[in-house]
Amino acid sequence: MPWANLWIGVVIMVEARDVLLRGGRVVTMVDGESERSADILVRAGRIAEIRPGIAAEAADVIDATDMIVAPGFVDTHRHVWQTQLRTVATDWSLLDYLVHMRLVASTFYTADDAYLGNLVGALEALDAGVTTLVDHCHILNTPDHAEEAARGLQDAGIRAIFCFGTYANAPRVPMDVPADPDWRFRAAEGLRRGRLASDSGLVRFGFAPQEAEAITIEDLAREIGFARELGAAAISCHVAMGPYDSGSHCVARMGEAGLMGPDLLFVHGAALTDEELALIRAADAGISATPETELQMGMGFPVAYRAREQGIRTGLGVDIVSNYAGDMFMPMRLGLQATRAARNAELGASGKAPGRISPLAVEALRLATLGGAEAVHMDAEIGSLAVGKRADIVVVATDAIHMTPAHDAVGALVLNARPSDVHAVLVDGRVVKRDCQLVGVDWPALRARFQRSCARIVAGARTVDAGEIEQAARRFWPHLA
């Protein structure tokens, strides 16, 4: 017993130890504040002080000299389960994605695959300084998949909203699929009452209805009502995907049906009308733009800046790691430069040249941090560096050849930095990455297990002749080129 008590005492002491980020260039993302030199003291998971010259002898010190200290990135939309399928979607349209990802590859995922995809995907996010993920999880082939996918996020130590997806995958390998056609709702209830019962834990319960534009408004109302009964922290819906939505104006119909609410998170949304944006604004709901997907797949132009400028809670997302890397540097950069290009082209069309550039890089950084937190109503706790907030922090080195010199910290983060520059990461005050290494992760061992899962899923998908599936999908979108 004395040994057990000693061990418990050691654990408590380690967990409670203060962390001091010393001498960094702090970018708080508090509106109106600019970069400044300061230390940050983290105590019991929260930011306790931000000022130069903090003396904290007993603290775990991270030397942030010549480094940029910023809020951890908030990714408001990712299908984390697709981590095993990195690079398969390189040249895909949304049709290809529907056929080969949603209707083929997903059907080979076991519950263990769902765990590994979410564990490795969340670790990839942390490695890149993403401290919060909204996981739109539509790989739930059985109830065990939900448990395991959520456990993967929890084991990684990331902050997340796990959005339980009700999309009806039909597995092609033997699995224990319940006979009850409503089993997904029962499984969601079980997850909510069990693993994700807490609203103050790092991983919270959220919901992702079936494709909102592909079901009736009555079915969508049933799903959203169910999510609200369970107290979902966010309800993630793909909407307004340009030519793919066939002018259905889903958000307008949701408004007419009385479904709008602050818990809704609308994803993509490039084709949202001004009236629909006004509905979202009035409901205090959020938007997640995923520039890489929208630009590649012909969904229209990323809505992020248009939404933000109308006062809507707006963040960015990576979306599919089957196609792009899981960091927020590229969505920031691509969304910003594409928006600048469009605005410049608009001026050019009227014979004018831009005398000033819009939007500014700081707006991109805001979307990727505080804006993301706002989009899911977590901005009281995370998204900026302020005394009292939870300590979700990224420390970015500037000594690499591509970061030297870094005269402007915001410019360095938005237009120059890479995941390899991420020196340290804190989630809820816990150091999950330091000295450019994830803490407590044996990547070679995990990689070997992960690669076996990757190979098996891809081998399974290759056995399927997708011709008929594509023909059926084409009937759903008769106007495809």
Residues near Zn ion (CB under 5 A) are 319
| Rounded least distance, CB 77 to Zn ion, Å | 6
Question: CB-wise, 264 or 406, nearer to Zn ion?
Answer: 264
9-18: long-range contacts, CB 8 A cutoff, minimum separation 24: 15/430, 16/44, 17/58, 17/59, 17/60, 18/42, 18/43, 18/48, 18/56, 18/58, 18/59, 18/60
CB 319 within 8 A of CB 292: yes
Pick the closest to residue 107 from 85, 74, 131, 129 (CA basis): 85
Pick the closest to residue 165 from 180, 197, 187, 181 (CA basis): 187
Helices (H), 181-299: 183-193, 217-229, 250-256, 274-283, 291-296
Q: Any residues with CB less than 8 A from the CB of 171 and at least 6 apart, and which?
A: 107, 108, 109, 141, 142, 177
CB 90 within 8 A of CB 420: no
Pick the closest to residue 289 from 251, 245, 335 (CA basis): 335
Exposed, middle or buried: residue 54 (CB in 10 Å: 0-12, 13-18, 19+)?
middle
Pick the closest to residue 250 from 222, 307, 211 (CA basis): 211
Q: Which residue is nearest to Zn ion (CB)?
A: 319
Question: CB-wise, 319 or 428, nearer to Zn ion?
Answer: 319
Question: CB-wise, 71 or 165, nearer to Zn ion?
Answer: 165
| Rounded least distance, CB 51 to Zn ion, Å | 41
Question: CB-wise, 18 or 319, nearer to Zn ion?
Answer: 319
| Rounded least distance, CB 28 to Zn ion, Å | 30
| Rounded least distance, CB 238 to Zn ion, Å | 5
CB 139 within 8 A of CB 454: no
* SS3 call for 319: strand
Question: CB-wise, 28 or 118, nearer to Zn ion?
Answer: 118
| Rounded least distance, CB 236 to Zn ion, Å | 8
| Rounded least distance, CB 149 to Zn ion, Å | 15
| Rounded least distance, CB 290 to Zn ion, Å | 7
Q: Any residues with CB less than 8 A from the CB of 186 and at least 6 apart, and which?
A: 143, 178, 180
Question: CB-wise, 319 or 327, nearer to Zn ion?
Answer: 319
Question: CB-wise, 276 or 319, nearer to Zn ion?
Answer: 319
Identity of residue 40:
I
| Rounded least distance, CB 99 to Zn ion, Å | 16
Question: CB-wise, 319 or 379, nearer to Zn ion?
Answer: 319
